[in-house]
Amino acid sequence: MIILGLCAIYAVALLFEKIYVMRKAARQTREFLAAFRKANSVQDAETIVRKLPQSGIKSMFDAGMAEVRRTQDLGLYAMRDARDHTMQRVQAAMTTRQNEHLEDLGSSMTFLASIGANAPFIGLFGTVWGIMVAFVGIAKTQTTSLAVVAPGIAGALLATAAGLAAAIPAVLIYNFAAKQISKQGGKLEDFASEFIALVSRDMDSRAG
């Protein structure tokens, strides 16, 4: 039961940590997109984004820009034939950074899932053990008085409560985090599409 109690405390601590991290990521993404959408060209976007603090979505932008610069350094940016290959590399680089960011947001998710799935069974084991203690007490004393069965029954109920106390917060936090990560992932995918479209238009304008 001590383990279950510690798991419950840790799950509650994770709740506050996840709320902070998810809200920060959502705010940074919102502010980044508001600034990025003011850009009319890749150069404008780079100038605007440079002033923003580092974040998951900015790391995606940096990865995409790194591929754009490689194309520019090779003197291929104004060539239509290079566009498809450039877009593929940009997409791959941004997807990699996106996955890394979402993985960071999802840290401890496996632990939460394990608590949510296993804590009730650990509590159930404690429940069975407590009932066994009560029956052993009855067998030894040959009586069913409250003084004999109460300790075992109390232990059984406490184990059940401990299992639920650990599992319920873990499941709630897991669902909350999973929903927020899914929303963040959708916004990042939309941003990647917007960035690729901006690069494509910019390359077309350079190609004349």
Check if the beta carbon of residue 42 is closer than 8 Å to that of residue 66: no
Give 144-183 pLDDT, tens digit per residue.
666 666 777 777 778 788 888 888 888 888 898 999 999 9
pLDDT at 116: 86
Four-residue CA torsion sign, 159, 165, 168, 174: negative
Token pair in block for residue 24: 């920060």
Question: Could you tell me the residue ranges of all domains in the chain?
Answer: 2-207
Whole-number Å distance between alpha carbons of 190 and 33? 10
Question: For 57-114, what is each residue's pLDDT tens digit?
Answer: 999 999 999 998 888 887 776 677 777 788 889 999 999 999 999 999 988 888 888 8
pLDDT at 54 over 60: yes
Residue 141 confidence class, pLDDT cut points 50, 70, 90: confident
